[in-house]
Amino acid sequence: MRVESSTLTAPLTGGARLIAVDGLVKRFGQVTALDGVSLALDAPATGLLGANGAGKSTLMRLLLGLLRPDEGEVEVLGVDASRDAAEVRRRLGYMPELDCLPLEMTARDLVVHMAELRGLPRRDAVLRASEVLFQVGLEEERSRLIRTFSTGMKQRAKLAQALVHSPELVVLDEPTNGLDPSGREEMLALVRRLSSELGVAVLLSSHVLEDVTRTCDAVVVLRDGRVVTSGRIDEMEGLAGDGVLVRATGDLEAFAGRLEARGLAARRRDGGLAVSGAPEDALLDGVRDAAVDAGVALRELRPAGPTLEDALVDALE
């Protein structure tokens, strides 16, 4: 499936879209990195999903005005990114994927310096650095040289510098790269807080589906430089109206009979029963009670409709 143009939710602020891209083409020699990408993003947090080489980083660099498109238009926060890149970069924060931190600086000095580069007076830069380092959990390590940091701490420092000037939009390129499981959990929680509590819109790139589903409201999937699908995550996941798929051990015929006796529709599917015919709460109560009545043990209960993963796999195939 190829989606030429997509609009994700209503605009967030002031009517201006966070990101609007139309017919974007970017080539590097013979390689076409982006091939006619059109998007309009307004969700508080949007995930950019795709395998390595799908065009995520190229799209981000175009949004930042670091590259010029060969064709098409890029508008970020209502500003033409290819014409006024400096204004775009002044208003957003960027957390690069690769190593980019000065190893011989302390975290505090780095964040103060980056705040000054973004126009904050020195005194304000120092205060903001303290605030943002506290928010990312680096307040205790602020005076340590970055070369002594773990990977997780470096990722936090990268995030802190991206937030220090109070950006309207923060662009995060693979923020969980290289993190161990606990570090990843903490980073994902932090990213989710940006849009849900701190009021900063997020554009996150990742090749890990779970990173996107846990932190974002909408998703854009890229493959070979094209948008293959996009939309709100809750709309792409299975809906309650699609019913549930139940797998159980025991007499499935009796189980199906008990379900139908409760006014629910049950049909065989994938070695289990697809059950529908009632709102979500009543449906789940009916399945529970019918299982008890039929004396079967539930082994699996999940939405019968396609999951986000199903939808994305379908889109990528």
Point out which span in 31-39, 99-107, 258-266, 298-306 binds another protein (CB under 8 A): 99-107
86, 94 contact by CB (below 8 A): no
Q: Does 126 bind another protein (CB under 8 A)?
A: no
CB 275 within 8 A of CB 283: yes
Q: Which of residues 158-187 bind another protein (CB under 8 A)?
A: 161, 163, 165-166
Least separation in angstroms between residue 142's CB and another protein is 12
- C-beta of residue 251 within 8 angstroms of C-beta of residue 215: no
Nearest-approach distance from CB 130 to another protein, in angstroms: 6
Per rule CB under 8 A, is residue 26 in the interface with another protein? no
Tell me if 106 contacts another protein by CB under 8 A: yes
**Least distance CB 239 / another protein (angstroms):** 35
Nearer to another protein, 128 or 258 (CB): 128
Nearest Cα to Cα of residue 97 among 218, 229, 187? 187
The rounded distance, in Å, linking the Cα atoms of 88 and 125 is: 20
The answer to whether 101 contacts another protein (rule: CB under 8 A) is yes
Nearer to another protein, 68 or 299 (CB): 68
CA–CA separation, 53 and 249 (whole Å): 44
In the list 72, 96, 137, 183, the residue contacting another protein (rule: CB under 8 A) is 96
CB of 232 to another protein, least distance (A): 26
Task: Compare residues 118 and 184 and give the one whose CB is closer to another protein.
Answer: 118
Q: Which of 41, 54, 79, 132 binds another protein (CB under 8 A)?
A: 132
Q: Minimum distance between the CB of residue 224 and another protein, rounded to whole angstroms? A: 24
Please tell me the count of residues contacting another protein according to CB under 8 A: 42
Q: Which of 1, 31, 51, 100 binds another protein (CB under 8 A)?
A: 100
Q: By rule CB under 8 A, what string of x and - marks binding of each residue 49-88 to another protein?
A: ---------------x-x-------------------xx-
199 binds another protein (CB under 8 A): yes
Chain residues that interact with another protein, rule: CB under 8 A: 64, 66, 86-87, 89-90, 94, 96, 98-106, 109, 113-114, 116-121, 124, 127-128, 130-132, 134-135, 139, 145, 161, 163, 165-166, 198-199
